[in-house]
Structure 1
């Protein structure tokens, strides 16, 4: 009976060349996973590798099979539970569900066209800790990128955690740091799952825990881009890390996604956008291997990267705003390089050569006339200042004159690096 009932479904909706023959795999796999019972299964002769019974033996025995009685009773008595199970399976394996699938399964009335309505957890559900989430919905209790027991990918972001996850300013998209605490991140484990979700344009669940707050399932989200940037691992060392750009969506059903998200997905080529090539932190770029590249050559490369970023300011799409934000470190790194670790205010009377505990320059990079006023995020209008000079430039009585002087300095030093003077 399974061959007659399931075989045509496999042909119509799963691309099976011979659905009646291919019924054997799900028929037996469900039994092996204890989701399905097959009468007298222990007596069936198996194939040479012992993975499943011979088709001929199943045809001859034609055993009774089906859900365990307690599961069948629960699903038939609790239609909301049944809708939850059906919705989870559809979202996990069919995105979007093929037309006529629910009708062919006889589930149109049960789902009433509202697949995402029955999914659990609901956005906004709070839990005190990860163990509490796992007790209700299953899944791993520690990993940051992992599915719940329904198999749908879930990511967790803790404000006190080791990763630099953040909402991108002026927009609700999320820059989510990839999997791997120390050392360069690789496309494995959780990052591999994220890449697969990006390729299939499948939504995932985003959970967030603010400082001293509870875990909350904030939103469904879809990956619109994968980038690589420099970050600091748990060991305190600079490393290359993935950043997955998550765009919040109302549900995992694509017909509910905003036009700006659809536009971003259409523009996404699925490739890695590597921001770590142009913007290399000075503590990394000062290794013996990089000595062959002069400071002036590095500066020119960073300045070019900052100009590419600035050129996108005239465009207002969300994808452009996101890229501009993530690429902005190029200008800052260029100014720090140009400063040679010294405050660029010629009249500095503070501590122009002070260093941090990590032996980095104690400098603050600032736009001389403010980014909001100029709209330029390029090194020729930016300076590296010690905290004292930064305060004088921002709040000092003579700040207007100092700003004019610093703009001359910034442009002069920039020209010297670009022209080789």
Structure 2
């Protein structure tokens, strides 16, 4: 992922900001010229009332930025909340040494948030924003083969767009369940919309699955990794060859731009949800 390997240690200033730019201080950095949001966690944040960490159900609970007073959805907090909508990857790093060394934890998806009372830097109680972050690798295991379809295509389309709406407050268990439901709904919708025909090359799926369904792969067009929930109008069901080209071809940027336009035209022809 962007040259980073999970578990490896990097220098924040040279290895990360040297590549992306962005704010070099604070817990959330939002480079302007790259499709990423950089989030940093570490024990030093406890002095400001931040208590990041894993929940029992495998969700990373990440406190938003803002050292005094109630946290608001501005700056980095807004960037994390809206990173899917804005087509940006959320990269999480853990501070490990005072010299600026950080460990790459991976690419995450914000699946929701909650408001929690917590002390600020001055020890005063305030409303804090706690984001629920899930590793994108968790979504790779989500299967659509056995998921029941709504009775009509229009109902499936409506469900996919509804499940893709902005994350709302809730427990980490609830938001994790909603995220998986969203991911499955979007994948199911893209496959049904394609109707067994690759949405890039317009050729029939190369073979049938064991359940008799045309085999196509769901590709996230506006994102640089494959594996998180996304907007239904930014995913495409394509054949394996086109999928590899969209990721690894020297012309992959043009391929994805053309694919995005095809999907936009198809969605426009289907009308409003």
Q: TM-score range by the shorter chain?
A: 0.3 to 0.5
Task: Decide which structure has greater helix share.
Answer: 1
Larger radius of gyration: 1
Q: Which of structures 1 and 2 has the larger relative contact order (alpha carbons within 8 angstroms, sep 6+)? A: 2
